[in-house]
Every structure is written in C-alpha cells, then in structure tokens.
Amino acid sequence: MTTPAKSDGATLTKDADLGETLLKVTGLQKHFPIKKGLFQRQVGAVHAVDGLDFEVRAGETLGVVGESGCGKSTMGRLITRLLEPTGGTIEFEGKDITHLGVGGMRPMRRDVQMIFQDPYSSLNPRHTIGTIVGAPFRLQGVEPEGGIKKEVQRLLSVVGLNPEHYNRYPHEFSGGQRQRIGIARALALKPKLVVADEPVSALDVSIQAQVVNLLDDLQEELGLTYVIIAHDLSVVRHVSDRIAVMYLGKIVELADRDALYKAPMHPYTKALMSAVPIPDPRRKHAKSERILLKGDVPSPISPPSGCRFHTRCWKATEICRTTEPALKELRPGQRVACHHPENFADQAPQDTVLLTAAKEAAELVSEEALAKSAETSAAVAAAAEEAAEASSDDAASSDDAGSPPESGEPSSEPGEPSSESGEPSSESGEPSSESGEPSSESGEPSSDDAAREPAAPSAEVKKQSVAKEADDDRQESSDD
Ligand SMILES: Nc1ncnc2c1ncn2[C@@H]1O[C@H](COP(=O)(O)OP(=O)(O)OP(=O)(O)O)[C@@H](O)[C@H]1O
Ligand code: SF4
Ligand SMILES: [Mg+2]
C-alpha cells in the first residue's frame, strides 16, 4: 500500500526507493508428519511449505495468493512463529528467530502480530471484547498510559467500533465488526509487522471494502508493514505493493503488483490472472482467452517431481518433469520459477518436446466459446426449472406430498476455499500464541485430516464458474 517506486529516469533505481528489509525468509519448510498405527509411526509428511525465499520490506504490503491448500496460512503461521519450521531460516530485523522458544519470542511478539482467517472462530466467545483486545497488554506485562481499559477503548475507536461496547461478547457483533476486533487486538502493542490471513474473505463484499480501507488507513497512520494472504486476486491487487504467487508449498512468482498484473511470467500466474475480470475499459472489447486448468491440484504429500506445476501446465516439457526450476530474477524485481516463462527468453531452449499429457491438462478457451457455453448453461437451467415447475404442478394436482423436485443447482460456489474448521491450532512443540489464537479450533488433526488433499473443483464445475464470470463480465461491459 506504499506508493510505488518513482520513475524519474535512469538515475533512480527501484531499489533506491525501497524500504529496509524487515523480514527475510530463506528456504523455509514445514512438513507435517503423518502418523499411523498403534505406535504412531510416521508414514509420510504433508509438504505444506517447501522452501520459500522472500523478504518483506519496511512499510510495504506483500500479498500472497494461491489456491486453497497451497500453504499460505502455514507460511503465515511460520513467519509469526506460531508454528515451528522444519527447515530454513526466518530473520526479523536481522535477528534469526527461526527456533526461538516462547521466552525468546516474548519481546518479538510485540512486533509481529497476526490477524486470523476466520473472524468467527478467532475470538474466544467466553471473553468480553475488552478482555480480548486487552489480552496482549496483560500477556506482555505492558501497562499503557491511562490504563488498559482506556487504551482498549481507544483502539476500538481507531478500528471504528464503539468504545462503549467494551463489555460486550463476540456473538453480539457482526462478521465485519469481529474482524475489526481482531485487527484492534493485533494492533494493541503497536507491531511492526502484521500478517493478515484472509482478513476479508469471510465478509460480505461491502464490508470487505471497509476492512481493506481500514487496513490501508492504519498502515499510513502507524507505518505498518503487512503480509496479506488471500485467494481473491482483486483484493490482493488492491492492497499489495508486491505479490507472491504460491503453488503447492512453493513461491512460483514474486513481483511488483503492476508488473505481475500486466505481464505475468509464470504460466500458473497467467492462468490465475486470466480468470479475473479486468476492470479496464480499454481492454473491454479486446479478444482475450481464459485458461482453464484441468485436473486436480496434486497432493502435497507426494508433490510432482521437477516443476510441481508440470502436471497441469500446457507448456511442460521433459525438463519440467525432471528438474525443479529455481526462482530467478528474470526482470528487475520479478522473480520466476519456470523453464519456459511467458514473454521471455526460454530458460531451457534445448528442451522442446512438449509432454503430451501436460498439453492435455489445460485448455485455452476463447471468449466466444465461453459465451456460447454460458448460453447453453442458461438454456439448460431454464429447461430444468420448467421441468421442475411442471413436476411440482403435477404433484400438487395429484395431491402427492412426496419429496421436492431435485434442483440441478450446485450447492456451493465452485473454487471456494475449504472450511477452516479442520485447521489445527497447534502442534506439539510449537510456541503457543500469546495474543489470541483461535479459541475454538480443535487441536491436532487425525492423520486422515493431515492427508486431506486440497479440494479442486472438477473441470466441468470450473467451466460453469468461468462461463458465469464471462456472463458477469459482459453484464459489466453493458453496464458501462
Ligand atoms: N497441522 C497440520 N497437520 C497436517 N497437515 C496440515 C496441517 N496444517 C495444514 N496442513 C496441510 O498443509 C497444506 C497447506 O495448508 P494451509 O492451511 O497452509 O493452506 P492454505 O493455502 O492456507 O489454504 P486455504 O486457502 O484453504 O486457507 C494443506 O494440505 C493442509 O491440509
Ligand atoms: S513451463 Fe515447465 S517449468 Fe514452467 S511452469 Fe510449466 S511445467 Fe513448470
Ligand atoms: Mg489458509
């Protein structure tokens, strides 16, 4: 959310305009063991985060995007040290905090705070708002000027809540208000770095905008640095200065926001971007195609060899299957892990044989085809509705009080992230959260949970969803 680098000619390079490095992560890994049997023998591991390298500069907002289950929340919990890393290092202000214990992390907790993914489960229902927002002071033994109550009430008004509601309980607040309470709690100790895990995804669109603007204002007022995790690319585009794209526990592209949206270099980023309607009137009539990724996201228990995206990438070649591409800076400020990046010199030109299986794994669908498929879906839906009406009329006339007609509607929006209810709050040996870890999470998951694969919508469902987007797009254009 900082102003992008100024471009007054060749004299001022981008780097000269960037803040100091606040957080540096090198080779960060988190493998969750999968245990089975009477003796709880380890039979495998979920490679949730598998070698991340990035840095966060003071005052910037780093957005982190990726499909459900790619390791975003795990990464957030690692850098706030709510989880113990399996490998790699985390440096905060130049200090190695990778394996600091609870005592060692205590002073650091003031500087690094987290806003949790679910505003409904992250507040203890038995505590008042005053107790929740005041907890960090008590845990850190800090006595703010004027006392804890006064400071908590000030924080509540900073985030746009009524200070008089100090004695109310979480259930008396809406989702948006609860997220504000979470933000107030995270800000209590004036942190330097705030990691916000999907801060708005559980909220209505209008409330999302309020919370995003609030985070924006607070950043300006308090000079905060953010890592904002989201799966919604529109939100990330709005809030971020730089964006990291994750796929199966790895960063595949890391770049300035504008560079990433204008010219994504990693095929996966391109596929993600192509699913987002572009609110640019100049491009309204431009011929564009959307990339629909077919097939399921592979399991993080045994990720594919070489480039993890090779099973779904339409450009995959033999080298992609065998050799993992390193995250390299191919353009200034744009790091990409790909052998055959988009709009750039091929990194493995000798390797030209495309993997046929991979070629079939993605489909490039033109807008015309999407429009046609949207028409077909609408016609099918209308026919289904008519049939349902006719059968209910029949039922009514024959006085049959049997089961209601089946609807062909899918029960949930495809592509939505899975519910967080199975997300564990802790694992053995990990430092406990001192500032309000989600209270209603249910501890270590069973090995079956651990083996949960991120759900991917079927290709057919995706097609319908994209067709619907295309419809929305056309609606938008005609509104314009
Ligand atoms: N404590 C745990 N034990 C075992 N596996 C876990 C644990 N926590 C997360 N995982 C697994 O690690 C992977 C990454 O999970 P994570 O919650 O970080 O994904 P995410 O990108 O935040 O997804 P979402 O967008 O749905 O929130 C998933 O496969 C998940 O099942
Ligand atoms: S071209 Fe190869 S390296 Fe690049 S994303 Fe596709 S599979 Fe991975
Ligand atoms: Mg998550």
Average pLDDT, the chain: 76
Residue 392 has pLDDT above 70, yes or no: no
Mark whether 310 and 200 lie in a shared domain.
no
Cross-strand partners of 256: 242
Ligand 2: atom nearest CA of 325 is 3
Which domain range does residue 355 map to?
Answer: 281-364
Would the CB of 365 count as within 6 Å of ligand 1? no
**393 CA from centroid of ligand 3 (Å):** 46
Q: Whose CA is nearest to atom 30 of ligand 1?
A: 69
Is 223 within the bounds of a domain?
Answer: yes
Would the CB of 70 count as within 6 Å of ligand 1? yes
C-alpha distances in Å from residue 280, one per residue of 276, 277, 451:
12, 9, 42
Would the CB of 340 count as within 6 Å of ligand 2? yes
Q: Domain count of the chain?
A: 2
Q: Which of 260, 295, 312 is the last residue of a domain?
A: 260
CA distance 27 to 87: 7
Ligand 1: atom nearest CA of 246 is 21
Neighbours of 284 (CB within 10 A): 13
Ligand 2: atom nearest CA of 340 is 1
Neighbours of 314 (CB within 10 A): 19
First to last CA, the chain: 28
Would the CB of 454 count as within 6 Å of ligand 2? no
Is 374 within the bounds of a domain?
Answer: no
Would the CB of 298 count as within 6 Å of ligand 1? no
Would the CB of 310 count as within 6 Å of ligand 2? yes
Query: Residue 385 has what pLDDT?
Result: 62
**116-141 pLDDT tens trace:** 888 788 899 999 999 999 999 998 88
Q: Which of 311, 344, 364 is the last residue of a domain?
A: 364
Query: Residue 374 has what pLDDT?
Result: 53
Would the CB of 417 count as within 6 Å of ligand 1? yes
Handedness of CA 69, 70, 75, 78 (dihedral sign): positive
Mark whether 142 and 69 lie in a shared domain.
yes
Cross-strand partners of 63: 228, 243
3-class secondary structure for 232-283?
A: CHHHHHHHCCEEEEEECCEEEEEEEHHHHHHCCCCHHHHHHHHCCCCCCHHH
Among 71-75, 420-424, 467-471, where is mean pLDDT lowest?
420-424
Ligand 2 pocket: which of 338, 356, 360 to mutate (most atoms within 8 A of CB): 338
Mark whether 211 and 315 lie in a shared domain.
no
Would the CB of 123 count as within 6 Å of ligand 2? no
Q: Whose CA is nearest to atom 16 of ligand 1?
A: 71
Residue 271 neighbours by CB under 8 Å, 6+ apart: 291, 292, 293, 362
Among 28-37, 93-102, 357-366, where is mean pLDDT lowest?
357-366
Instruction: Indicate the pairing of strand 242-247 with strand 225-229.
Output: unpaired
As a whole number, mean pLDDT of residues 160-179 equals 91
Neighbours of 279 (CB within 10 A): 12
**150 CA from centroid of ligand 3 (Å):** 34
Neighbours of 180 (CB within 10 A): 23
CA distance 172 to 161: 13
Q: State phi, psi for 457 to the nearest 5 degrees.
A: -65, 150
What string of DSSP letters covers 8-29?
-STTS-HHHHS--EEEEEEEEE
**301-354 pLDDT tens trace:** 999 999 999 999 988 999 999 999 999 999 999 999 999 999 899 998 887 777
Mark whether 244 and 293 lie in a shared domain.
no
